[in-house]
């Protein structure tokens, strides 16, 4: 969040926040070796390859939602299996996601089959890009840091989404952390992740 000269807070656009998140997430995906693809992740239902495919699918389908078009999450394509250049393709699609949510009107009105506020829908993609990058970093032994600029808006989105997300099994039960824990640790804990785990196991 930036501050204007008159002292009023200026809320960052979703596209701006995605650009920051992508700058940190893309190197994590680029750093995944082929030998790591079968390893476990903090997401119990996904190994590394399936989680990359899931995140890949998210950043492709949420480009459509930014343009108020229909998305399709009925199945997840195996984009990792489509060729050795999947890391480069992921980076290009991440750039396209940023562009889509930076376009005029992307945050206005409603988006998606559930007719949710467009900014909240964009925040869902931002959340996946951020927390799944953490999942993948932990699973593959990489360093991953998220700028505080991204954490505060995501914390607000998670608070709004959590009841429904937990009822659908998308979030786990909150993990206890200290009240003075860093913001990103509290964000991870709110989604049901243990922020102190050091690997996929």
pLDDT value, residue 55: 98
Tell me the pLDDT band of 10, cut-offs 50, 70 and 90. low
| Range with the poorest average pLDDT among 68-77, 117-126, 187-196 | 187-196
- Residue 128 CA to residue 67 CA, distance in Å, equals 19
Asked whether residue 8 carries a pLDDT value surpassing 50, the answer given is no
pLDDT value, residue 174: 84
Average pLDDT, the chain: 89
pLDDT tens track for 127-146: 999 999 999 999 999 999 88
- Residues counted in the chain: 201
Which of 13, 8, 15, 11 lies closest to 99, judged by CA?
15
Phi, psi (rounded to 5 degrees) for 120 = -65, -40
Tell me the pLDDT band of 201, cut-offs 50, 70 and 90. very low
Coil, helix or strand at residue 146: coil
pLDDT value, residue 9: 46
Across the range 149-171, mean pLDDT stands at 86
Interior angle at CA 171, CA 168 and CA 174, nearest 5 = 130
Tell me the pLDDT band of 198, cut-offs 50, 70 and 90. low
Asked whether residue 53 carries a pLDDT value surpassing 80, the answer given is yes
Half-sphere exposure of 141 (CA within 13 A, CB side): 5
Across the range 62-67, mean pLDDT stands at 96
């Amino acid at each position: 969040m930036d501050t204007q000269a008159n002292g009023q807070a200026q809320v960052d656009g979703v596209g701006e926040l995605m650009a920051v998140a992508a700058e940190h997430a893309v190197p994590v995906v680029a750093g995944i070796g082929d030998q790591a693809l079968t390893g476990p992740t903090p997401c119990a239902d996904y190994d590394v390859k399936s989680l990359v495919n899931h995140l890949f699918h998210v950043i492709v389908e949420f480009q459509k939602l930014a343009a108020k078009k229909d998305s399709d999450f009925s199945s997840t394509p195996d984009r990792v299996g489509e060729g050795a250049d999947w890391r480069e393709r992921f980076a290009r699609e991440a750039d396209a996601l940023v562009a889509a949510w930076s376009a005029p009107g992307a945050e206005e009105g409603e988006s998606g089959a559930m007719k949710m506020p467009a900014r909240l829908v964009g925040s869902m993609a931002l959340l996946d890009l951020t927390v799944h990058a953490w999942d993948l970093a932990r699973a593959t032994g990489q360093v991953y840091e998220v700028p505080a600029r991204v954490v505060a808006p995501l914390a607000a989105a998670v608070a709004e989404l959590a009841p429904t997300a937990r009822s659908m099994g998308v979030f786990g039960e909150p993990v206890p952390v200290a009240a003075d824990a860093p913001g990103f640790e509290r964000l991870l804990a709110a989604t049901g992740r243990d922020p102190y785990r050091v690997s996929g196991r």
